[in-house]
Structure 1
Amino acid sequence: MISEFAFLCAGAGLIGLALFRLATSADLLMRVLSLNVLGIGIAMLLLVAGRGEGGTDAVPQAFILTGIVVLVGVTAVLLALAERVAEVGHE
């Protein structure tokens, strides 16, 4: 079974890569994708933090599911906004 340390490292790595890409990318689509990767990295860290001896607690799981739903909505809005910015930039 995969250890908690592996999930911790993977989540921290995803957060680090996403923050690096957010800081260095000028492309709006890459920034939106970076925000999605950042959200998944944070979800992984929350999942590791919620693990106990008897398994994963239900409250962090509920937070993660809620965060995924919010992330989908925010992604849709950001993609629509990026499309508008691209349309205005071409005019």
Structure 2
Amino acid sequence: MTSITPDQWYGLLGIAVTVAGLVRLVTVADLVARLVALNVMGIGSLLVLMALAARGPQVDPVLSALVITGLVITVAFTGVGAVLIRRIEQSPPERREEDP
């Protein structure tokens, strides 16, 4: 019987987190919950990248740099998404002209 290595464990955990975020994204209608689900999916994909980086005897510096860059981009897009959600929810509903 073979045991699971830590990098395989983190890879599987990253896939599970990504799938959980995707399921939540598809099943919920609230915009804030969707933004959080996108963040969960992003963290899951970054976890998979770190698992891939740790496969060899040394950690791959390129994948580690991609993960750090992904974290910065995630924070920036979360802020932009929050501002957009706030503007969408504060915008007045459009008035419809009734047909005579």
TM-score normalised by the chain length of structure 2: 0.82
Q: Which structure would you say has the larger Rg?
A: 2
Name the structure 2 match of 1:37. 40
1:53 aligns with 2:56: yes
State the identity as a percent.
31
Residue identity matched to 1:19? L
Name the structure 2 match of 1:66. 69
Q: Deviations over 1:21-52 (max 9, x none)?
A: 11011001101101111110000111111123
Name the structure 1 match of 2:98. none
Q: Deviations over 1:34-81 (max 9, x none)?
A: 111111000011111112332311110100000000000000000000
Alignment length (residue pairs): 90
For residues 89 and 11 of structure 1, the distance between their equivalents in structure 2, rounded to whole angstroms, comes to: 40
Q: Is the 8 A contact 2:11 2:51 kept in 1?
A: yes
Deviation at 1:90, TM superposition (A): 6.8
Structure 1's 52 and 17: CA in aligned 2 closer, same or farther, altered over 3 A? closer
Q: Which one has the bigger strand percentage?
A: 1
TM-score normalised by the chain length of structure 1: 0.90
Supply the RMSD in Å over aligned alpha carbons: 1.7
For residues 62 and 14 of structure 1, the distance between their equivalents in structure 2, rounded to whole angstroms, comes to: 21
Structure 1 runs not aligned, ≥5 long: none
Q: Is the 8 A contact 2:7 2:52 kept in 1?
A: no
Alignment of 1:14-29 (within 5 A): 14-29=17-32
